[in-house]
Amino acid sequence: MHQFNAQVEELAAAILEYSLERLKSDPPLDAPKTEAELKELAGETITESGMGGIAALNLFKEVLAPACISTDHPRYLAFIPSAPSESANLFDLVVGASALYGGSWLEGAGAVYAENQALAWLASLANFPETSRGVFLQGGTIGNLSALVAARDKARKTHPEIEKWAVITTSLAHSSIYSASEIMDIELIKLEDSYKLQETINHYQSKPKHGICAVVATAGSTNLGIIDDLISIGIAANKNHIWFHVDGAYGLAGLVSEKVRPLFVGLELADSFIVDPHKWLFAPFDACALIYKNPKDGKDAHTQHATYLDTLNQDDEFNPSDYGIQLTRRARGLPFWFSVAAHGTKEYEAALDHTMDIALQAAQLIKEHPNLELLMEPKLSIVAFTRKGWELSDYENWSDTLLSDQIAFVTPSAHNGVPILRFAIVNPWTQISDIKIILDRL
Ligand SMILES: *Cc1c(COP(=O)(O)O)cnc(C)c1O
């Protein structure tokens, strides 16, 4: 049935060889090129007769891949890097080769079972009840949006008289919360002080037909790794019967480490939370775990109905597509499941602790550095600092040169309107010697 002829065999060998080589060796940092440069180098790639698999692979190897920054390079410390374990990356090849459908139990029971095991582990670390359930979605943006849509759906059903809904969040909120409120066409209220939550709820809900459908807290801000006061926010949300969502796309990976797990007390008060295994849990792009305390809330909001789908909805089977904004679904949680299943949770904890240890050592080196000032002690694995006397353009020029010299990828950010540098350390291959190489250039 499969047309695995000699030509395809040759391509298979070449692709596996390339993939293994990429996984085994230290990747070059690389850098982007302009569209004009790529046009010059790669030309038109889509033709009537095709260029053949080997030629297309060579084009990727020689032209396209070097125009992509290696996000798993140990000195890629910008944004949030990617650091998939070897086993997660290798298993991603298996997921790709297996044509798995991860949307329904009927089609993907085995894959869904394994994904659910990984989700149950995360739920247990969060002190969520055993009845909680979730789904792996594309990323934190879709995860937050899916949770907030479920929150509003429930609020609407409970309070059909309300016409104007709002979400309250804190100053740590990620841009995806703003984007979700735009998509949902609801108001977003930014809380300056989490102790003002009750007052803010009262004020908004005293207006006729106005209601708060969710309160969102951040567990590990993307810029600095700061955690909201989950206890006081959670208590106030629960008392007012308002959905409490915790965005931990980056930071909630910290649940795996006994050392920092206490920072997340209060998470158990949430109705839903997210964490991205593609950030600090050693899984490849792209996967966000969204977990609901009461799974029915997710299902009521997200199940799609159509004559051709109704056969999926007749039994009580667990269909991942019912829990987020998606229908067709890659079993995108499987590389993460495989990695945890293979390594065990202890090794996960050790890898996380190692990244936090490097962050602390980096902070110490920054404090000792004559030209640098540490912004704050790292809470998780993000280290933020400033260079004395530098303006934004100095930071930008330094960052550009660092990349063009193929040393590292570190980009400027800002805090309270002041430009800063930050290292996001999620890669267990990042060593203190890597940090020193960068600090020497400051
Ligand atoms: C990264 C991040 C997101 C967005 O996640 P994506 O996977 O990039 O869509 C949301 N919230 C926080 C706190 C994040 O760090």
Mind listing the pLDDT tens digit for each residue in 251-274? 999 999 999 999 999 999 999 999
User: Do 115 and 337 form a contact (C-beta atoms < 8 A)?
Assistant: yes
Place of tokens 């979400």: 167
Q: Which two tokens stand for residue 140?
A: 């934190």
| Predicted confidence (pLDDT) per residue in 206-219, tens digit | 999 999 999 999 99
The number of beta carbons lying within 10 Å of the beta carbon of residue 160 is 8
> Is the peptide bond prior to 286 cis by the omega test (within 30 degrees of 0)?
yes
Mean pLDDT of 278-297: 98
- Cis ω for the linkage preceding 316 (within 30 of 0): no
Distances (CA, A) of 153 to 160, 173, 204, 299, 422: 10, 22, 19, 10, 38
CB atoms within 10 A of CB 231: 15
**What's residue 156's pLDDT?**
98
Mean of the pLDDT values across residues 399-427? Answer: 98
Spell out a b/e string for 18-28, using b for 16 or more CB atoms within 10 Å of the CB, else e: eeeeeeeeebe
pLDDT in the model for residue 268: 98
pLDDT for residue 1 is more than 70: no
Is pTM beyond 0.85? Reply is: yes
Question: Tens digit of pLDDT for each residue in 86-105?
Answer: 999 999 999 999 999 999 99
What does the block give as tokens for 88? 């997660």
Distance 40 CA to ligand 1 centre (A): 35
What residues does ligand 1 touch, defined as CB less than 6 Å away?
A: 80, 139-141, 174, 176, 218, 222, 247, 249-250, 276, 288
What whole-number distance in Å separates Cα of residue 308 and Cα of residue 316?
17
How far apart, in whole angstroms, are the C-alpha atoms of residue 382 and residue 356?
Answer: 8
First CA to last CA distance, the chain: 60
Q: Quick count: other Cβ atoms within 10 Å of Cβ 386? A: 19
Residue minimizing CA distance to atom 10 of ligand 1: 140
283 alpha carbon – ligand 1 mean position (Å): 15
The minimum-distance atom of ligand 1 relative to the CA of 219 is 13
- pLDDT at position 253, please? 98
